[in-house]
Structure 1
């Protein structure tokens, strides 16, 4: 009788472990599958922002994982009511210990709702510049111009000024060049405007701007501004800077630069020697 009871208990526990493992595998697969599906549909939907879709997918993934774990514990006879009470008390203690982390979560939710930046935007967040490549519960991920990955805590991103250089998938390219005071300003601006706006990457609307930025110590600083697709900004600016330099050389427009004068010791002594008066008899 005792042997039969033990056999039934073993079979019962094996069945519980098997069902719990099956629920865990299917539940985790479903959590990741639905998370990816929500993110994909959000990216494809024209009225849902990709940043918000990414954030919602992460929320769904974590919520489903917690739900699966609760169901798995139920298979072993754990009462969910007592579990919820324990989780509530634990959440309070953890919340007090991890205030900074919870601040990042709350800030991430606020960023996802307000959307000061979107995936693909070039931004300056907490003094760090880069293209936004991801937003999760804790961090905003940026890719810098030199291909470094920068993780900015959402709490710092929300509590510091955010500069978004991108508008509707485009970014303004600003090029400043100094020319000589004797050069023709209108001619230089015309050359710069023709080069920058004739390129197929330049966006006609909003229109570009070309004018005098300021008067320097040794040059008149002129500036050109043109809107280009965000993905083309770096290459466009590099190429335009090169083309403008070459065009100015062809047109005889000088780009001033500092000149160093080197004097030898003998030359300094000759310059400092007193000038003798012309010979006059007294």
Structure 2
């Protein structure tokens, strides 16, 4: 009986010693985990601010893109700190990383269209084929850019309507930007009867363009015979104007030439009306 009591006492002491050792060990682990989490949180905030400020000073980096990269850096640090904390408690982090990778792959497959829009949004923000305030046209949409986001681009049509276009549709198609260049060309056609002197009519048409101070002198306006028949000749006036004033000046030139020649004039109407 006395032997059994002694064995129980020894076992109890051993259990208490082991429990004390485990308590001390896990206390330090818990304390270290808390400290590591706090340091990781502060470090992520500091690096987030540095990255954001640094990217904002990089030429060509959009504010939306700067926030995206800065947030990606912050969350990457937090995930790394969390995995490190789990390793403090003896958790096999390799399996966790593998699980996170598998989960990321599954989410990527499920959100394939969304991720495609994000990738297209990043490319649009980096390469900037268009900016806010510019008028663009694609095969499917046209309008003035009001905002370029990571998922979609907001536009305002020439009719004053709101248009939301997924970024993937704007990245995977040719885009015509009517506002990017400083000047734009306009061709204006006039039909002259065959009994008139073509040289005189060409000089008169060219004088109308040269008298307008809003028309660019370089490149200089040009007049040439575009087509010729027995009964008439088609003259074409080619001139360049400032892009923001293109729509107004071309409409005014159409009116002035019509009055001068007493007829309707032809010219390519813009698919995208105002360039500004």
What is the TM-score with the length of structure 1 in the denominator?
Answer: 0.56
CA distance 1:238–1:204, shift in 2 (3 Å): same
Larger gyration radius, structure 1 or structure 2: 2
Task: Return the alpha-carbon distance in structure 2 between the equivalents of residues 25 and 32 of structure 1.
Answer: 11
For 1:24-173, list aligned pairs within 5 A.
Answer: 24=41, 27=44, 30-31=47-48, 34-35=51-52, 37-42=54-59, 50=60, 53-54=61-62, 57=66, 60-70=69-79, 73=82, 77=86, 81-108=94-121, 115=127, 117-119=129-131, 122-131=135-144, 135-142=148-155, 144-145=157-158, 150-165=163-178, 169-173=181-185
Match 1:193 to one of 188, 209, 214: 209
Q: 1:41 aligns to what SS in structure 2? A: coil
Contact 1:126/1:156, CA 8 A, preserved across alignment: no
Tell me by how many angstroms 1:138 deviates. Answer: 3.3
**Offset at residue 188 of structure 1 (A):** 5.0
Q: Is the 8 A contact 2:221 2:237 kept in 1?
A: no
Which whole-Å CA distance do the structure 1 matches of 2:146 and 2:46 have between them? 25
Separation in 2 of the partners of 1:25 and 1:207?
A: 62
CA deviation after TM superposition for structure 1 residue 226, in Å: 0.8
Residue in 1 that maps onto 2:252: 242
- Give the whole-Å Cα distance in 1 for the aligned partners of 2:53 and 2:152: 19
Task: Give 3-state SS (helix, strand or coil) of 1:174's partner.
Answer: strand
Question: Does structure 2 conserve the Cα–Cα contact (< 8 Å) formed by 1:126 and 1:157?
Answer: no
After superposing the two structures, state which structure 1 stretch, 30-39 or 178-187, moved more: 178-187
SS of 1:224's partner is strand
Structure 2: tracts of 5 or more residues without a match? 1-22, 266-276
- In the TM superposition, what whole-angstrom CA distance separates every residue of 1:227-277 from its partner, at most 9, and x where no partner exists? 42x4x2xx342144235524653xx421339xxxxxxxxxxxxxxxxxxxx
Aligned pair count? 228
Q: Normalized against structure 2, the TM-score is what? A: 0.57
Distance change in 2, residues 1:173/1:129 (3 Å)? farther
Give how far 1:93 is off.
Answer: 0.7
Q: CA RMSD in A?
A: 4.8
Are 1:125 and 1:163, in contact at CA under 8 Å, matched by a contact in 2? yes
